[in-house]
Chain A
Amino acid sequence: MRGSARLTALLWLALLAGAGLIIHHSLRISGDLRLFMPTPRDAVGRLLLQEVSEGPAAKLLLLSIQGAAPEALAATSQKLAAALRADPAFGFVSNGEQRLDMVPDALLPYRYLLSPTLDTNHLDASYLREQLQEREQDLASPAGTLLTPLLPRDPTLELLKVLESWEPAHQAQQLFDVWFNPAGNAALLIVQTRGAGFDPAGQQLAIATLRRRFDAVRGTSAMQLTVTGPGAFAVIMQGRSEADARVAAVCDSVGMVLLMLLAYRSPRRVFLGALPLATAGVCGLGAVAALFSTVHGITIAFGFTLTGVALDYPIYLFSNEQPGVRPLVVARTVWPTLATAVAAVCIAYLAFLFSGVLGLAQLATFNIAGLAAAGLCARYLLPRLLPVGTRDHGTGLLPSALVNVVGRLPPMPWLAPAIAVIGLGVVIGLRTPWWDNDLGHLTPVPEPLLRQYETLQQDLGSPDVRYLLALRAPTPDALLTREEALSKQLDGLIGRHVIGGYDLASRYLPSAAVQRRRQAALPDAATLKADLAKAASGMAFRADLFGPFLADVARARTLPPLTVQTVAGTPLALTVGALLQERDGGWTGLVTFTDVRQPRALAALATGSAGAIELLDLKQAAEDLVANQRQRILGSMAVAFVLLVVVVAVTCRSLRRMVRVVTPMALSALTTLAILHAAGVALNLFHLIALVLAAGLGLDYGLFLERAGREPAAHRRAVHAVTICATAACVVFAVLGSSTLPVLRSIGITVVLGVASNFVLAQLLIRRQSP
């Protein structure tokens, strides 16, 4: 019997390990944050989520190099930028250097089509003479040598005019030709990775490459590189959650083993107690892997956390052992209660399947499969592995003392109403903000890292991220034409100090019509040659100097206009691509702003356009998304609660008993909310998940105690079970509560509060009824 039990246990473990391995190989873990966000219902929401997770901004890493004199930092910045530009892992690299190769050689003749010069001037003898005179004076100035390489090809300095017009309205200060922070002690760079922002594996690779390149160019100096941005966050978070999870796993395991040893004084029960938990984890993960194509990393973490409820099942079984009673008999006796607990939680989780938040649906699947498996494991597997009980845990010191203390207290019929009133009073009365509507807080990134990122963003003069204008058109060229018309209005707004500046695609890429108009204004080869000769007569320039210029103009006359397609692969494509995107069968153009002083005037512009232009308030949209998501979660929680109550009422076959079971749990949720609210904590998704978990545990306590009925010995065994369950939960979640990650911390604290409250209230409210 002992031998066969051991064999069964080993076989089961081998089965779990095998299943775990298979799942591990077939599981596709995604870091896409959208899994935990609600499905957006409007265009703004879709745009927002796209920008958040796969937009160009999500691929940007902001770098700062510190720890040396500015000149050395600048030299390192230039070397690093050159190394990264040659690396295929990075799309575009910018450190503020004015690089003439921004416009590659093939695009150089396009400068006359891109520059506004020809809108107001002609390349005739008088304009050329004026320009050449300027150039003579430039050459005779102290900075004359800078022009030597440019002049033969570009005597009107058109390229410089184009680059100047492309310069952002606000940008970081420049020292030694590269971007620096305002204090002048850190060189700044912007790097775009090819991999998606929230793909931690890809980002980790990119950042490792980045650091390797930096170490190579840094040499022996003591300079340090700071990398920040969505991708860097993804990597940091993964590293930190892994480290925290390892520490938590070790602490939890040690704590559990000690607790179980203390409670049951049997190493075998310690081992057996872990079996349902392991079964729950493997089954839950397997179900999610089978039903969903990709699983969010957070789903897995939270899934394992929430299956902690499964620990209650073996504890309940062990605590109900009695000397000489065969484990199978014990299991059969406790099964109705256990089955109710499992069924109630599983059915309640059904509500989350339909929350419209993919991550929550995965979480629900994980828990339904996991908890059902754990319950069955406790009922059918454990009794076959357990030896016949030798002691009645209800007679132990702890349960006896607890029962005594609680028994001596006078009946407190006022307790439940009093807690309800006080809790509601705090929840309704205190005017602290209720909900945390910041979408950013759903990224589990610690505040200081976010602040560092925001500071760098400001130093680099990144545009205001709150307001955007969106235009739509069937083709990119129609869109560019509209943007050109809009530019005139926006220039007016700058004049009226409504906005500080703006950026849109047509600033870089004029519409085909405008390009053709400028092209038509270019003189033919013979005319230009004659006019140039006339202009240069009597001047000091070498006679044949401007051959390259004549050739470029001749080519510019026959070029097909530059389009979104033809700029592909040039540095221009990245700038234009960020502002002009193909979406839902049409083209959307974005206008970004710096320094929006009167949002209302922008709104008026959008309203006045009769729907052609839309003002996007990304902050508002993000808050709407979060609020919308919360509504769905709250709705799911309400449905879950109703389902739970119905299951309990049906299995108890009594309304009164159902109320006894559910009251401590409901009051505990209220108490936890009231305490968090009084402490000024604004609630987010993670608090709600923690509340659900605490309620699930509380339901177990209520059921275990209520089902013990009137028999004192059974009641004491139930008290033992509940005490061990609550202590175990508190140990596990106190470890989580001490995590460095704010998300894990808030979950840990919320669950500990909920469990403690559930434990106390269940003891006080579900007392043994006198026979």
Chain B
Amino acid sequence: MSSVRRMAPILAAGAAGALAVVASAADPPDIGVLLQHLARAAPATTPFVEVHFSPLLSRPLIVSGELTYSGPDALGRTVDKPYSEHTEIKGDQVSVVRGNGKPRTFSLQRAPELKTLLSSFTALLGGNREQLEQDFTLSVSGDDAHWGLGLTPRDKRISERVTRITVTGEGGSPRCMTTDAPDGSVTVMLMEAAAQSDLPRDIDRAALAKVCR
């Protein structure tokens, strides 16, 4: 029963995707329109689920919590399952508190490529296409109903940390943001409706790709 419930949205999404491909094979989605879909007015809060695949791990690590976007260069990431961790980024300052531990703070000045990644994330949320295109080559796939937006870093320093970011979505809302790292690890963040999906503990990448579709 529960597995059927889990499968239902995936099936539905698959069906919708098939329809969409038929409907607009000659009509790829417009980047501007996609960015409109992604843009959020600050402050905005959204639940997320993150699935981390790593060559060191036999199964993925799954954490969930809430993302807060409070304007350009200001982000919060709170993990509440399976442990609690709060990361706060304001300008150049990052502070991380894990459990009841002491907050650790460091400056993004020390790692400017992280700063670029962060500002592209906020550029995505702010709908700032100009800034995004400064740091990434943008590409689109799919159609208006089931789309994918690819971001490939232009700068070598950034591509040493991140080889590609892919945002997939359905209609007017994003579902997943997939980040590929050069060491083979992949992080998939499920947002909005997708964050509600119930994932198996040992989900593999193919199954997850279907959730994100």
Do the beta carbons of A151 and B56 come within 8 Å of each other?
yes
Instruction: Give complex CA distance A139, B61 in Å.
Output: 8
Closest to A145 in B: B181
Looking at the assembled complex, report how far the CB atom of B125 sits from the nearest CB atom of chain A, in whole angstroms.
Answer: 16
Pick the interface stretch among B38-46, B109-117, B191-199: B109-117
Q: Which residues of A contact B56 (CB under 8 A)?
A: 139, 148, 151-152, 541-542, 545
Do the beta carbons of A137 and B185 come within 8 Å of each other?
no
Q: Mark A143-154, 1 if CB is under 8 A from B, else 0.
A: 111001101100
For window 163-208 of chain A, which residues contact chain B by CB distance below 8 Å? 173-177
Do the beta carbons of B183 and A148 come within 8 Å of each other?
yes
For window 61-91 of chain B, which residues contact chain A by CB distance below 8 Å? 61, 63, 77, 79, 83, 85, 87
- Given A139-B57, A540-B58, A173:B109 Cβ within 8 A: yes
Q: Which residues of B contact A174 (CB under 8 A)?
A: 109-110
Looking at the assembled complex, report how far the CB atom of B64 sits from the nearest CB atom of chain A, in whole angstroms.
Answer: 11
Q: Which interface residue of A71, A148, A543 has the most chain B CB atoms within 10 A?
A: A148
Does B52 sit within 8 A of A, measured CB to CB? Answer: yes
Instruction: Give complex CA distance A176, B116 in Å.
Output: 12
- Given A152-B56, A540-B61, A541-B57, A177:B50 Cβ within 8 A: no
Closest to B110 in A: A174
Do the beta carbons of A175 and B61 come within 8 Å of each other?
no
Does B60 sit within 8 A of A, measured CB to CB? Answer: yes
Does B98 sit within 8 A of A, measured CB to CB? Answer: yes
Do the beta carbons of B52 and A144 come within 8 Å of each other?
yes
Instruction: Give complex CA distance A72, B183 in Å.
Output: 26
Does A582 sit within 8 A of B, measured CB to CB? Answer: no
Q: Which residues of B contact A405 (CB under 8 A)?
A: none
Looking at the assembled complex, report how far the CB atom of B77 sits from the nearest CB atom of chain A, in whole angstroms.
Answer: 8
Looking at the assembled complex, report how far the CB atom of A76 sits from the nearest CB atom of chain B, in whole angstroms.
Answer: 14
Do the beta carbons of A71 and B112 come within 8 Å of each other?
yes
Does A141 sit within 8 A of B, measured CB to CB? Answer: yes
Do the beta carbons of A145 and B185 come within 8 Å of each other?
yes
Q: Which residues of A contact B55 (CB under 8 A)?
A: 148
Number of A-B contacts (CB under 8 A): 64
Instruction: Give complex CA distance A657, B209 in Å.
Output: 113
- Given A136-B61, A140-B61, A148-B183, A176:B54 Cβ within 8 A: no
Does A142 sit within 8 A of B, measured CB to CB? Answer: yes
Instruction: Give complex CA distance A414, B161 in Å.
Output: 89
Contact of B54 among A71, A143, A144 (CB under 8 A): A144
Looking at the assembled complex, report how far the CB atom of B100 sits from the nearest CB atom of chain A, in whole angstroms.
Answer: 14
Interface size on B, residues (CB 8 A): 30
Q: Which residues of A contact B185 (CB under 8 A)?
A: 139, 144-145, 148
Q: Which residues of B contact A137 (CB under 8 A)?
A: 83, 85, 98
Closest to A143 in B: B114
Q: Which residues of B contact A136 (CB under 8 A)?
A: 61
Do the beta carbons of B58 and A541 come within 8 Å of each other?
yes
Interface size on A, residues (CB 8 A): 25
Instruction: Give complex CA distance A145, B53 in Å.
Output: 10
Do the beta carbons of A177 and B111 come within 8 Å of each other?
yes
Closest to B99 in A: A137
- Given A137-B98, A174-B109, A149:B54 Cβ within 8 A: no
Q: Which residues of A contact B6 (CB under 8 A)?
A: none
Looking at the assembled complex, report how far the CB atom of B21 sits from the nearest CB atom of chain A, in whole angstroms.
Answer: 34
Looking at the assembled complex, report how far the CB atom of B140 sits from the nearest CB atom of chain A, in whole angstroms.
Answer: 26
Does B59 sit within 8 A of A, measured CB to CB? Answer: yes
Q: Which residues of A contact B98 (CB under 8 A)?
A: 137
Do the beta carbons of A140 and B52 come within 8 Å of each other?
yes
Do the beta carbons of B59 and A149 come within 8 Å of each other?
no
Do the beta carbons of B58 and A140 come within 8 Å of each other?
no
Contact of B110 among A140, A148, A152, A175 (CB under 8 A): A175
Do the beta carbons of B58 and A542 come within 8 Å of each other?
yes
Closest to B96 in A: A141
Q: Which residues of A contact B58 (CB under 8 A)?
A: 540-543
- Given A137-B85, A141-B85, A145-B181, A175:B112 Cβ within 8 A: yes
Q: Which residues of B contact A148 (CB under 8 A)?
A: 54-56, 183-185
For window 165-188 of chain B, which residues contact chain A by CB distance below 8 Å? 181, 183-185, 187
Instruction: Give complex CA distance A403, B112 in Å.
Output: 82
Q: Which residues of A contact B87 (CB under 8 A)?
A: 141-142
For window 733-754 of chain A, which residues contact chain B by CB distance below 8 Å? none
Q: Mark A367-390, 1 if CB is under 8 A from B, else 0.
A: 000000000000000000000000
Do the beta carbons of B161 and A145 come within 8 Å of each other?
yes
Q: Which interface residue of A142, A148, A149, A174 has the most chain B CB atoms within 10 A?
A: A142
Contact of A176 among B83, B112, B161, B187 (CB under 8 A): B112
Q: Which residues of A contact B181 (CB under 8 A)?
A: 145
Closest to B54 in A: A139
Do the beta carbons of B110 and A542 come within 8 Å of each other?
no
Q: Mark A535-577, 1 if CB is under 8 A from B, else 0.
A: 0000011110100000000000000000000000000000000
Closest to B187 in A: A144
Closest to A96 in B: B110
Q: Which interface residue of B56, B60, B85, B157 has the most chain A CB atoms within 10 A?
A: B56
Closest to A176 in B: B112
Do the beta carbons of B112 and A140 come within 8 Å of each other?
no
Q: Which interface residue of A144, A151, A540 has the most chain B CB atoms within 10 A?
A: A540
Q: Which residues of A contact B187 (CB under 8 A)?
A: 144
Q: Which residues of B contact A145 (CB under 8 A)?
A: 161, 181, 183, 185
Instruction: Give complex CA distance A148, B114 in Å.
Output: 17
Looking at the assembled complex, report how far the CB atom of B197 sits from the nearest CB atom of chain A, in whole angstroms.
Answer: 18
Looking at the assembled complex, report how far the CB atom of B82 sits from the nearest CB atom of chain A, in whole angstroms.
Answer: 9
Closest to B50 in A: A140
Instruction: Give complex CA distance A227, B18 in Å.
Output: 66
Closest to B62 in A: A140
Looking at the assembled complex, report how far the CB atom of A69 sits from the nearest CB atom of chain B, in whole angstroms.
Answer: 11
Looking at the assembled complex, report how far the CB atom of A106 sits from the nearest CB atom of chain B, in whole angstroms.
Answer: 25
Looking at the assembled complex, report how far the CB atom of B184 sits from the nearest CB atom of chain A, in whole angstroms.
Answer: 8
Looking at the assembled complex, report how far the CB atom of B51 sits from the nearest CB atom of chain A, in whole angstroms.
Answer: 9
Q: Which residues of B contact A149 (CB under 8 A)?
A: 183
Q: Which residues of B contact A141 (CB under 8 A)?
A: 85, 87, 96
Q: Which residues of A contact B184 (CB under 8 A)?
A: 148
- Given A145-B183, A175-B110, A540:B57 Cβ within 8 A: yes
Q: Which residues of A contact B50 (CB under 8 A)?
A: 140
Q: Which residues of B contact A144 (CB under 8 A)?
A: 52, 54, 185, 187
- Given A141-B85, A145-B161, A177:B183 Cβ within 8 A: no
Instruction: Give complex CA distance A144, B85 in Å.
Output: 14
Looking at the assembled complex, report how far the CB atom of A589 sits from the nearest CB atom of chain B, in whole angstroms.
Answer: 33
For window 118-149 of chain A, which residues contact chain B by CB distance below 8 Å? 133, 136-137, 139-145, 148-149
Closest to A180 in B: B109
Instruction: Give complex CA distance A128, B153 in Å.
Output: 38
Instruction: Give complex CA distance A545, B57 in Å.
Output: 8
Instruction: Give complex CA distance A137, B114 in Å.
Output: 19
Instruction: Give complex CA distance A139, B111 in Å.
Output: 18
Q: Which residues of A contact B85 (CB under 8 A)?
A: 137, 141
Q: Which interface residue of B83, B109, B161 has the most chain A CB atoms within 10 A?
A: B109
Q: Which residues of A contact B59 (CB under 8 A)?
A: 540
- Given A173-B109, A177-B111, A542:B183 Cβ within 8 A: no
Instruction: Give complex CA distance A152, B183 in Å.
Output: 14
Looking at the assembled complex, report how far the CB atom of B38 sits from the nearest CB atom of chain A, in whole angstroms.
Answer: 19
Looking at the assembled complex, report how far the CB atom of A762 sits from the nearest CB atom of chain B, in whole angstroms.
Answer: 70
Instruction: Give complex CA distance A336, B110 in Å.
Output: 79
Instruction: Give complex CA distance A144, B56 in Å.
Output: 11
Q: Which residues of B contact A71 (CB under 8 A)?
A: 112, 157
Given contacts A176-B112, A540-B59, list 9 more A-B pairs with CB under 8 A: A139-B54, A139-B185, A142-B114, A144-B54, A145-B185, A148-B54, A148-B184, A175-B109, A177-B110
8 nearest A-B pairs in the assembled complex, by CB-CB distance: A145-B181, A148-B183, A540-B57, A140-B61, A542-B58, A174-B110, A140-B52, A140-B63
Residues of chain A touching chain B, judged by Cβ–Cβ distance below 8 Å, are: 71, 133, 136-137, 139-145, 148-149, 151-152, 173-177, 540-543, 545
10 contacts between A and B (CB under 8 A): A133-B83, A137-B85, A140-B50, A141-B85, A141-B96, A148-B184, A177-B110, A540-B57, A540-B59, A542-B58
